[in-house]
Amino acid sequence: MPIQRECTIMRAEKLNPFAWSLTLDAGELARAALPGQFIHVKCGDSRLLRRPISICDTDGNCLRMVFEVRGEGTAWLSRRHTDETLDVLGPLGHGFDLSGRKLLAVGGGIGVPPILNVVRHCKGEAHAILGFRSVDRAMLLDEFRAASSTVSVASDDGSIGTHGFVDALVREKLKGERDVAGVLACGPRPMLRAVAKAAAEAGVPCQVSMEERMGCGVGACLVCACKMADGAYRHVCKDGPVFRAEEVDWDE
Amino acid sequence: MNNAVDLSVTLAGVTLKNPIVVASGTFGFGREYGQFYDLAELGAICVKGLTVLRREGNPPPRIAETPMGILNSVGLQNPGVDAFLAHELPELRRHDVKIIANISGSTPEEYGDMCEKLSEAGVDMIEVNISCPNVKAGGLAYGTRPELAAEVTAIAKKHAAVPVMVKLSPNVTDITEIARAVEDAGADAVSLINTLLGMRIDVASHRPILRQNMGGLSGPAVLPVAVRMVWQVARAVKIPVLGMGGVMTGADAAELMLAGAAAVAVGTACFADPYAPVRVRDELARLASGQGISRVSELTGAVQPW
């Protein structure tokens, strides 16, 4: 059940030229959060809408959120300092199903942070595959190495890890590791589509975390619609953000 | 202190325990915000707009942020009136709150059919939407022509056994003309304003942000328009007005009441603050109490224009 809470910023760091990390004292909100869920953060008084931000990690009452500056709201967030407070609504949404700890967790770009929470919950048994546009956008690699069975990295320009996209690494991993229970992915839509295809080819179930412009964050306003394979719209904030890959209409 | 002020109001013969209503399309069927507080805190709930058949709504993006507002183009996504009656109304009825069913038809007959079903099921009031800017059939077309607005109102009245309130569009030259037309056709109340038609364009991609290009503007940016139109309409008709448009605070609600609203709906504010309707109610009570007002209904139409 979601709650609204003023959360004190305990730590604020810049991870790379594009991404920031804020660690909040979020109390029961942090303790209730599950991997794949998100928080809806008020970004000052001059913007009406909250900003949905994935939960990167939780530890007791601490909740870590990592975001890139995409517009005015996230720019405002990036200027916050330790001991300031944020108005946070959460935990929201339907997260990942983590049955079977031997999972392949795939993140791309700003879809990488929530994947950290996934691998942490798998107690070192999950494999992580991370994709970045370039080395200057890489983040959280030490955290992933400490928490995952293996970590593979790809970049669009070859400046870090394998030159290319994460779906190639997913195919390779699923060939080598025969007992992977599922693929879990978060990232841009074309990446999710490619990863879902790679998982389907290997006959491994795949869950994807989707993104859409959001309003209320709780399922009341119906704006964050995602087209499903059966033709119906479901809502990223309440029905998702995590869906089974085969539920999604990838051609929409 | 708040106990000193009588918050109850009457809207089209229906007594609300307080003047705060939640606006259709911003509150679903109450389930989501019911996780945050008891729905009985509210005066009434206007449920998500219903149509005869289930509608999937418009493709995304359906929302764009604007300076102190939002544009939306949901397109009346809803499960259909029968599913509402089977699954949502019984759940809503567990709470001590008045239920206002909002309906949109693509023919006058559809409005009549829905009024019959909903009256039979015992909703407290029906809000006839003739002002949705986001659907092609019906919707706004009925709300911009007085003779069509009157026709829909007359059919709704004929088939409804509960009070009928007509929701007016601000996207007209003279809103009082439509208000008078629906009053003459028998409407028991009017609600206004629905959203203002707007558009935003992504300058990087040269594409409109909304997939439907245009959408409805709501939020604090529209409050002055709402106050003006409530004032104009309240002076033009004798039936009560449910005022809405950009209410974020108790003072905003008081402005609409002073302009002539018998009750006030809170909508977009919920997206920023789930507790907005309850907070607005408490702020309004404090404001009235501070002015030595014993009944909040005394604010209705109490503006002293220059």
- B-facing residues of A in 217-246 (CB < 8 A) are 217-227, 231-233, 238
Which residue on chain A is closest to B35 by alpha carbon?
A1
Task: Provide the chain B residues 256-295 that lie in CB contact (below 8 A) with chain A.
Answer: 268, 270-275
Angle between the N-to-C axes of helices B276-290 and B250-259, in degrees from 0 to 180, rounded to the nearest 10: 70
pTM value is: 0.94
Beta-carbon separation of B63 and A215 below 8 A: yes
A118: tokens are: 């996934």
Cβ neighbours around B246 below 10 Å, total: 26
Interface confidence, given as ipTM, is 0.91
User: A252: which chain B residues are within 8 Å (Cβ-Cβ)?
Assistant: 59
The number of beta carbons lying within 10 Å of the beta carbon of residue B87 is: 11
Which chain A residues are closer than 8 Å to B56 by Cβ? 231-233
Cross-chain CB nearest to B26 (options A50, A221, A231) = A221
Cβ atoms of A191 and A185 within 8 Å: the answer is yes
Burial B199-236 (b: 16+ CB within 10 A, else e): bbeeeeeeebbbbbeebbbbbbbbbebbbebbbbbbeb
Where are the alpha helices (H) located in chain A, listed in sequence order? 27-32, 72-78, 112-121, 141-147, 166-176, 189-201
CB contact under 8 A, A213 and B72: no
**Inter-CA distances, B263 with A137, A145, A191, B190, B245, Å:** 52, 59, 49, 11, 12
CB under 8 Å to A21, separation ≥6 — which residues?
A11, A12, A13, A14, A15, A56, A64, A65, A66
Q: What are phi and psi of B264, to 5 degrees?
A: -135, 135
Contacts of A225 in chain B (CB under 8 A): 57-60, 62, 74, 77
Radius of gyration of chain B (CA): 18
B60:A212 CB<8 A: yes
CA distance A153 to chain B (A): 30
Residue B148 φ/ψ, nearest 5 degrees = -75, -40
Whether A221 sits inside 8 A of B60 (CB atoms) is no
Q: Answer yes or no: do B60 and A214 touch at CB < 8 A.
A: no
Nearest chain A Cα distance for residue B56, angstroms: 6
How does pLDDT run along chain B (306 residues), one tens digit per residue?
445 899 999 999 999 999 999 999 999 999 999 999 999 999 999 999 999 999 999 999 999 999 999 999 999 999 999 999 999 999 999 999 999 999 999 889 999 999 999 999 999 999 999 977 666 655 677 888 999 999 999 999 999 999 999 999 999 999 999 999 999 999 999 999 999 999 999 999 999 999 999 999 999 999 999 999 999 999 999 999 999 999 999 999 999 999 999 999 999 999 999 999 999 999 999 999 999 999 999 999 999 999
Q: Is A227 helix (H, G, I), strand (E, B) or coil?
A: strand
Give the integer Cα–Cα distance in Å for A58 and A40.
Answer: 16
| Mean pLDDT of each 10-residue bin along chain A, 252 residues long | 95 97 97 96 93 96 96 95 97 93 93 96 92 97 95 96 95 90 96 97 96 96 96 96 97 83
To the nearest whole angstrom, how far is the Cα of B193 from the nearest Cα of chain A?
18
Position B137 scores a pLDDT of 56
Q: What was the pLDDT predicted at B139?
A: 64
* A67 close to A74: Cβ distance less than 8 angstroms: yes
Q: Find the closest chain A residue to B269 by CA distance.
A: A48
pLDDT value of position A228? 96
Which pLDDT score is estimated for B1?
A: 47
How is residue A147 written in tokens?
């928490």
Q: Is A48 on the interface with B (CB under 8 A)?
A: yes
The minimum CA-CA distance between B298 and chain A, rounded to whole Å, is 31
Number of inter-chain CB pairs under 8 A, A vs B: 98
